[in-house]
Amino acid sequence: MIYLNALSLDGNDIGFDPLLMKEVASPCQFCVRFSPAIGFSSNMLDHSREMTFSVQNCANINSLWASLIIEEFVRLGLTYFCIAPGSRSTPLSIAASTHSLTTCIACYDERSLAFHAVGYGRGSHKPAIVITSSGTAVSNLLPAVVEASQDFVPLLLLTADRPPELQDSGANQSINQVNHFGYFVRYFFSLPVPTDDISARMVVTTIDSAVFSATSTPRGPAHINCPFREPLENRPWKWNLSCLKGLENWMSSGEPFTKYIWSQHFHELNATRGIILEVIEIIQGARKGVLLIGAMHTEDELWAALLLAKHLMWPIVADILSGLRLRKILCFFPEVEDKFIFIDHFDHALLSAAVRIWAQSDVIIQLGSRITSKRVAQTLEEFIPRSFIMVGEHSSRHDPSHIITHRIQSTITQFADYLLKARFPYVSSHWCQFLQALDMMVAREISFQIDSEYSLTEPHVANIVSQSVSCESALFVGNSMAIRNADMYGRGSVKCTHNHNISSLVLSSGVPYHGIQVAGNRGASGIDGLLSTAIGFAVGCNKRVICLMGDVSFLHDTNGLALLNQRVQRKPMTILVTNNHGGAIFSFLPIAEATDRRVLSKYFYTSHEVSIRNLCVAHGVKHMQVRTKVELEDALYISQGEENDCLIEVESCIDFNLAFHSKLRKFASQAADQSLNLLSSISVSNSGFYLCKIQRMTYSLYRVQLCSPPTSASYNHDSTEFYREGFILTLFLEDGSFGFGEAAPLEIHKETLPGVEEQLRFLLHVIEGTYISCLVPSLKGSFSSWIWNGLGIKPSSIFPSVRCGLEMAILNAVAARQGSTLVDVLDSQANREEEIARHLSTVQICALLDSNGTPMEVAHLAATLVEEGFTAIKLKVARRLNPMEDVSVIQEVRKKVGSKIELRADANRKWSYSEAIHFGLCVRDCHLQYIEEPVKDESDIIKFCKETGLPVALDETIDNIQECPLKLLSKFSNPGIVAIVIKPSVVGGLEKAALIARWAQQNGKMAIVSAAFESGFSLSTYVQFALYLDRQNKETCRVMNKEVGSIVAHGLGTYRWLKEDVATEPFRTQRNTYSGFIEVSIEDSDYMLKRSELNRNTILRNFSGEKIHNYWFPMDFEDFSCSLKVKEIGVSNKSNVTVFLHGFLGSSEDWIPIMKAISGSTRCISVDLPGHGESKIQNHPQKKASLSIEVVAKILCKLIDNIAPGKVTIVGYSMGARIALFMSLRRYDKIKGAVIISGSPGIKDAKARKLRRANDDSRARSLISHGLKLFLDNWYTGELWKSLRGHPHFSEIVASRMRHDDMYNLAKALSDLSTGRQPPLWGALRQCKTPLLLIVGEQDKKFKRIAEEMAYEIANGIPNSEDSAYKICEIIEIPSCGHAAHLENPLSVIAAMRQFSTHLERS
């Protein structure tokens, strides 16, 4: 009887897997720690007599010896047998298959079977036993034996043989099997033919010796040759029991005969202490050290490598087989994450010659065996480091470049343990930061190229598969292109979906990662036996395995399918076969360029048309074929939920694969060069890797008159005056430099001026004193990263116009600081590419024409524009009742301006499909450059292109793009779409606009920058930005070996709408002296951005911030007196007051950013609740105050009565939300409305309340006993804070919780305000008369459920609930956050509060 319990070290039960039980070797009691994550405790009752060996079933001596062999293997803990059919091996096969504790699998192909055993050894780190017949059956094992030998995988071979008298005599199936595998095995022994003249002890000691040799360093194959005479079957044949002499104790126990014992201490290093001290001195003296991590085989090795990496703080280059390349983030703590510097794309960064020179390291430590990347190896050989230290358990020379200076034979765990005791100075932080920034830029480029390619590519397959591997599963990668793609394009640092609470583990170890078990056959790196190995690996590791391989590798081992449908002790597998109908790797070799294609296809690619589907059908394996990205994602999702194995065939093409890899390499190299140029131009200060510090930001509300209404907005036709309103941002750097930005929403923005102003007020508060990352000007995801990590704001929560204005202000300020133009700040190559700069220094402008009037009138206006020098004109269409009227206008304009002028039409999605087709067919002869957004439904765009043959441009389609533009854009790679019109203020800033433009340019489309009727400041910025995009296009064409198209006229013609401007200097256009075209130069736009000032006549008001008013409010009650700390800000408005209540451990400080955001429209008051912050409570003599929810509500009502005579809106979070809800239900005469953030009406069940009361009382005692610091460390490890822990400012948030003056009353608040003591308010909800806004975080499942139940209760208590309930109660889910929504995603909370405030005002 066996009891097995597994616990993670933080106390959580990780479950019991019965599959592991059969592998217990003997009864015992033990407790073993496998890794920092997992420990096992076992209690096994010793029933050893039940495990005695019986000879009763051994009919003859062959049967006896075979049974002894199998029994000893089982006693040694080896129970997995791989059996090939055969006659001579009958005794062994019968003994193995009939043993009660063995697991057996069979296959008719010995080669596949042997590789399967190798896979089992990789997965379990224990050898499988292969049983074969004699002859060539043995020879078929050689490829697997070589692989196991080369990669130190334990393996045991039992090969049946003919007796000596049949050797070298021409007997059937007889070959010389002695030392058949030569030096590829660690041990060989040929047993004598079974006889009772030889002690049977020899048999079991031979097994013991073989197993020890196979499992000792260096691990590998062991071969036991087993000759048998007939009878081979279990036919009775007399034998003498005397041969069992000396086995009596063995037969009465369950132990192996010989126990080999070896020391696991670090005696090897202690014996060479002088050398180790020398190594430590080398590491201590390193200036540019790199930790190179090769293949890791155990979880302990992974943890040891991570702990060493954290200790050294060196850049980490992790191989795909290390398990760290595809690491999962367990829990994000910025201060911990900063100690790990993973360089995941070092291979592609080294494509740049400049990077190879710059990135030379002086000391390399390599943990584990050989690495996959040839480029990394070549670079190390080209720039040999001063010291190269390799650590490996075996003694083999893995040094093909002959550069290793110190070879340490040790386990990685032992080596790491030794080094963790030593102290090392930090490697140059600048070196590490440079490498990290360089890697980040290359990673973003690779990601962009993969995501922007519409077709399903092999790099995308590697990328998406790596993301699909969960913490509980494993990956097996085939050789050739499969492992190279996984190594180059696999994605690490993906959030782990593991369900267990591992936070305490992370806190104790300081390691926030979970390694993924990854395996591959890299011993001899052959393509044979890969499927079989993967299946064996799945059995051995006992996890769901995803296997990735190529088609030729798969076809090489189709007999492995026979193993696949034998589900023995194995979880389901997903096998991805990339089918490019040949050996794609040869297309990357020099032979491909020098050889005829016919020869390549036949003799190198071995091109084929084999149906993989039919092979799967023949073996009963589920097959799915995918050709698109979406199909692949769907297939992976389906397969992961299946209980059966699944093979996914990914269609590919050798030539396309080669071309895409070439494109990836070129752009990765370009990105590495550009990044190095950018980083080299920056002087890094001790404060960090930043450009400069922001001193402050202000904004001004402007109103300028327009000549006519904007073409994008509806307007009153009776109006004669038209205006444009918005905000001008002025951002000041610490050196006094400043830059302008603009946030001016239109109707198309789906934003309002008040909403925009609230976000600007918020930004004014959080941006002060922050540092600008040096990578921000690259516009490659760096702005988003800075907004999140620097400001703590979800990038997606910022309004598009606000983000555009912010980016504009920062970039213009940086340009002013550097004394350069904005285009030079954006283009890191500008100073080096003089030829580009000389030819691309002006921007041509497309005129905008609102085609009201008769065709003749519009044509006359167009002709006037041409005379002024415009070479392109965009006409607004679809404003008339009949499309034929627009046809007449277009035809008349074309007739008037001639064929050399580019005409564009813009329908703004106003036509139905039939109307658009009617128009398109009629203007085909008018030679439009394109028609913009011709149809209402974007799904009809491609259809319109095909039916009319007209070129199309996208505009509104991309305006709706939020976080992932490349996914949406990939649908529009059709060549009929020739242009993308990009409004930076609508799509969400210059960074996103640059991303969209890059996609357009790489797909051969025009990227046209368009204004949204902004002021001259925005127009001048857009000119510089357009120049940057034009230069980028030229560089893109150079990299892709394309011809550069004609100059693009950008959509900046809206300047003609400005009757006056916010800037004192007008937006300057000029007519080119030589061409006569209207254009804007770098110099003129730069002059306006740097020299112009605000036109005070257009400014309605300015705002530079608002100070918080702090005061104490004293109150006296019967039992106690208290003084509440109050913070107040905002307009003096008695009728519009908002009171904020924080949660437990919080303070009034928590609300300051939100208060500052909304203080323009409401008076904001926040309070340090009793026991929190600086508030004070004094008990009266002989009295003891209670801090129950009733008492706290009473205190707050008294405060509100004194500071706000009318009703107030109350906002509460968590504990504060419960108080706010209580006040709303009990004192609705004072509460106008309540915003309940992650709040609850209490606990319904009395027993649950009692338990919660006891828990909170215990926590309160702990707070008093152990202090606040320890209490906080424990408090924030809970599941409720999982999302908050991922916030980049989490450390600062926790630090703010230390600022409480009264620890006793803080603990008392925890106890007295416990939901276990609070009377449940569920029943009162049905009588709710106060409007409630229930705010919950998207990831907060518990409180989302509570909010839904609250809304249900309220709805059931109100007549006509469908209408009335909405007015009384509404739920808003805040995206991308958890419990603390107001801290994690404050801008979305502000937007929700504004919506609620508007609702209150209307009601």
Q: Which of 310, 571, 629, 874 is catalytic?
A: 874
* DSSP H or E run through 1384: helix 1381-1384
Torsion angle of C-alpha atoms 542, 548, 551, 555, degrees rounded to 10? -10
Cα angle, residue 1386 at apex, residues 1384 and 1389 outer, rounded to 5°: 115
> Which DSSP letter does residue 769 get?
T
Q: By C-alpha distance, which of 125, 300, 341 is closest to 219? A: 125
The two structure tokens encoding residue 787: 């907004």
* Residue reference for tokens 């409004």: 983
Q: What is the spatial distance between Cα 652 and Cα 571, in angstroms, rounded to a whole number? A: 28
Strand-pair category, 1208-1213 with 1231-1237? parallel
* Burial of residue 1360, with CB atoms counted within 10 A of its CB: 0-12 exposed, 13-18 middle, 19 or more buried: exposed
| Strand order from edge to edge, sheet including 573-579 | 517-519, 473-477, 544-550, 573-579, 646-651, 622-626
Strands 646-651, 622-626: pairing is: parallel
Distance, CA of 1335 to CA of 1337 (rounded, Å): 7
> Sheet of 315-318: strands edge to edge?
341-342, 315-318, 289-293, 363-367, 387-392, 406-409
DSSP 34-59: -SSSEEEEEEE---GGGG----TT--
Q: Is 874 designated active site?
A: yes
CA–CA distance, 332 with 349 (Å, rounded to integer): 26
As a three-state string, the secondary structure of 1285-1320 is: HCCCCHHHHHHHCCCCCCHHHHHHHHHHCCCCCCCC
Catalytic-labelled residue, pool 629, 983, 992, 1005: 983
DSSP codes joined into one string, 74-132: HHTT--EEEE---STTHHHHHHHHH-TT-EEEE-S-HHHHHHHHHHHHHHHSS--EEEE
**Tokens read off for 1046:** 């004609």
Alpha-carbon span 1234 to 1355, nearest angstrom:
17
- For CA atoms 1279, 1284, 1285, 1291, the dihedral sign is negative
User: Which residues are bridge partners to 13 per DSSP?
Assistant: 7
- Do 520 and 153 touch, CB atoms closer than 8 A? no
3-state secondary structure 822-851: HHHHHCCCCCCCHHHHHHCCEEEECEEEEC
Examine residue 194 and say whether the peptide bond preceding it is cis (omega within 30 degrees of 0): no
DSSP class of residue 1398 equals H
Which residue stretches of 629-751 are H helix?
Answer: 629-641, 654-680
CA angle (413, 416, 419) in 5-degree steps: 150
* C-alpha–C-alpha distance, residues 202 and 642, integer Å: 48
**Integer Cα distance of 148 and 126 in angstroms:** 12
Q: What is the 3-state secondary structure (H, E, C) of 553-603?
A: HHHHCHHHHHHHCCCCCCCCEEEEEEECCCCHHHHHCCHHHHCCHHHHHHH
DSSP string, 267-280: HHHHHTHHHHHHHH
- Crossing angle between the packed helical segments 1303-1312 and 1246-1266, to the nearest 10 degrees: 170
- Render the burial of 112-131: b for 16+ CB within 10 Å, e for the rest: bbbbbbbbbbbbbebbbbbb
**Residue that has been written with the tokens 């040839």 in this structure:** 374
Q: Are 164 and 156 in contact (CB under 8 A)?
A: no
Report the catalytic residues: 874, 983
